[in-house]
């Protein structure tokens, strides 16, 4: 009797098991990892919408607030589709024989990706979406360089080609198994991929577009520092997904990435405000939140590789150096990078990438250098990665502007600039009492 019962139960279990999808039986799906990356994905999108949008909108004239919000929102929509069509494939496809340079188009429209396709311990569809949020915020960062004087249609068209020709290839080089990954470049969450590409391209665009009317001595101050602070606070919170999520797992690496991210952000704000106090005897809210962003940009490439001491020093160094470069760009070189994209993101990202070679060492609390590497050799690899991406981003941005500006108007008219782009480009006002 017991033998019959056992046989019947075993048969029933076999039938039930055979009806479970192979995904549930055989995969290495990590439910905890998946839950964390789902959360991190939402946090990174939160950085752009509404974080970056509000951060930038508060820094411009009141007549241009809708324009800035619209640029960020439209980029989020368009880049999502571009990432689906080709961006993800270029970044993370196998690329055939040319896989050290680009990923090819084999994964266009997520070809070959189904409900049960995994990327590590998470669904590949989730990995696609997480990376999509990076592809959204990176061109949105560039918006800060050309606010108040650029044609809206040019922004969108340029962003499409920039993501396909600059951002996605660099992602492949660093994170997709390309030649910089092959050399051992450390870039945990996007110091090179996000901040250097955006910062360098922003500087090239600012130079080619020219300065705002009244630059540098007769510009109106930010119209709403409170709005900028709210946006900055959202960036700070969202950055936990940006850096912590880049571990692609709910593990110790994600935990330390979040820890050093917070420390570096606080240190960057303190450093920037301290410099302002020494020079001007006043510490501005705009300065404090900009220093915070500088600290975040600086820790990003090193966030999964360094310990708390590294986070503190990188934040302090980022706050001081980025402040210094903002002054040089505007006052010494007379370049109207309006919201300091190059100085904060480009310089911060490059600085963090280089310093990662030092603070990754176990003696300073890091995870340690790769086998066979020394601090000097790793620093050489980091410098090589930064230089390669600087050259590529600058060259392709210059070519894109030259080509696209022959077909699409680049800069708005003087009348539209004077009136403000809210009415000129979008037929709306941010404030009806203007």
Instruction: Give the pLDDT of residue 10.
Output: 41
pLDDT on residue 8: 40
Q: Are 258 and 306 in contact (CB under 8 A)?
A: no
Tokens, residue 269: 């704000």
- Calculate the average pLDDT of the chain: 93
**Cβ neighbourhood burial of 320 (10 Å; 0-12, 13-18, 19+):** middle
What residues of the chain score a pLDDT lower than 50?
1-26
Q: What whole-number distance in Å separates Cα of residue 371 and Cα of residue 339?
A: 41
Q: Given this model, what pLDDT does residue 403 score?
A: 98
User: What pLDDT does residue 217 have?
Assistant: 86
Cβ–Cβ under 8 Å, residues 298 and 314: yes
Q: What is the spatial distance between Cα 186 and Cα 289, in angstroms, rounded to a whole number? A: 27
Structure tokens at 320: 């001081």
Secondary structure class of 122 (helix, strand, coil): strand
Contact 88, 107 (CB under 8 A): yes
Q: What pLDDT shows up at residue 218?
A: 87
Q: What is the token pair recorded at 381?
A: 């690899």
What pLDDT is stored for residue 98 in this prediction? 61
Residue corresponding to tokens 């340690």: 368
Q: What is the pLDDT of residue 21?
A: 34
Q: Are 52 and 242 in contact (CB under 8 A)?
A: no
Residue 94's pLDDT is 85
Cβ count within 10 A of residue 388: 18
Span 5-35, pLDDT tens digits: 333 444 433 333 333 333 333 458 999 999 9
Cis preceding linkage at 133, omega within 30? no
CATH topology of domain 30-100+107-426: Ammonium transporter fold (1.10.3430)
How far is residue 306's CA from residue 223's CA, in Å, rounded to a whole number? 38
Three-class secondary structure of residue 296 per DSSP: helix
Residues pairing with 123 in the sheet: 118
Give one word for 364, left, alpha or beta, with left for phi > 0 and alpha for psi -120 to 50.
alpha
Residue 40 is predicted with a pLDDT of 98
User: Dihedrals φ, ψ of 119, to 5°?
Assistant: -125, 100
pLDDT given at position 11: 40
Q: Where are the domains of the chain?
A: 30-100+107-426
């Amino acid at each position: 009797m017991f033998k019959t019962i056992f046989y019947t139960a075993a048969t029933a279990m076999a039938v039930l098991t055979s009806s479970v999808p192979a995904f549930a039986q055989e995969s290495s799906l990590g439910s905890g990892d998946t839950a964390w990356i789902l959360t991190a994905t939402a946090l990174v999108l939160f950085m752009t919408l509404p974080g970056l949008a509000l951060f930038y909108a508060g820094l411009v004239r009141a007549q241009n607030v809708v324009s800035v919000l619209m640029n960020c929102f439209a980029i989020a929509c368009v880049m999502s589709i571009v990432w689906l069509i080709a961006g993800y494939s270029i970044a993370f496809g196998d690329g055939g024989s040319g896989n050290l340079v680009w990923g090819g188009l084999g994964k266009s429209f997520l070809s070959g990706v189904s409900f049960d396709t995994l990327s590590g311990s998470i669904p590949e569809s989730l990995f696609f979406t997480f990376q999509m949020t990076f592809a959204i915020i990176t061109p949105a960062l560039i918006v800060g360089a050309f606010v108040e004087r650029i044609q809206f249609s040019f922004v969108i068209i340029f962003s499409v080609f920039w993501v396909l020709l600059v951002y996605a290839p660099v992602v492949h080089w660093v994170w997709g198994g390309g030649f910089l990954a092959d050399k051992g470049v450390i870039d945990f969450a996007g110091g090179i991929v996000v901040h250097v590409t955006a910062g360098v391209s922003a500087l090239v665009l600012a130079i080619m577009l020219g300065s705002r009317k009244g630059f540098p001595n007769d510009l109106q101050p930010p119209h709403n520092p409170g709005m900028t602070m709210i946006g900055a606070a959202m960036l700070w919170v969202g950055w936990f997904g940006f850096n912590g999520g880049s571990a692609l797992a709910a593990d110790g690496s994600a935990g330390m990435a979040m820890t050093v991210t917070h420390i570096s952000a606080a240190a960057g704000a303190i450093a920037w405000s301290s410099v302002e106090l020494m020079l001007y005897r006043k510490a501005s809210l705009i300065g404090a939140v900009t220093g915070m962003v500088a600290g975040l940009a600086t820790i990003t490439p090193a966030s999964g590789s360094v310990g708390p001491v590294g986070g503190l020093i990188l934040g302090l160094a980022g706050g001081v150096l980025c402040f210094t470069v903002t002054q040089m760009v505007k006052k010494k070189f007379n370049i109207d990078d309006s919201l300091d994209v190059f100085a904060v993101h480009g310089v911060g990202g490059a600085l963090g990438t280089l310093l990662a070679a030092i603070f990754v060492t176990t003696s300073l609390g890091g995870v340690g250098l790769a086998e066979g590497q020394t601090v000097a050799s790793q620093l050489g690899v980091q410098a090589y990665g930064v230089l390669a991406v600087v050259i590529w981003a600058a060259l392709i941005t210059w070519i894109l502007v030259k080509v696209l500006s022959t077909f699409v108007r680049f800069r708005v008219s003087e009348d539209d600039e004077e009136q403000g782009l809210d009415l000129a480009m979008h037929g709306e006002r941010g404030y009806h009492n203007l």
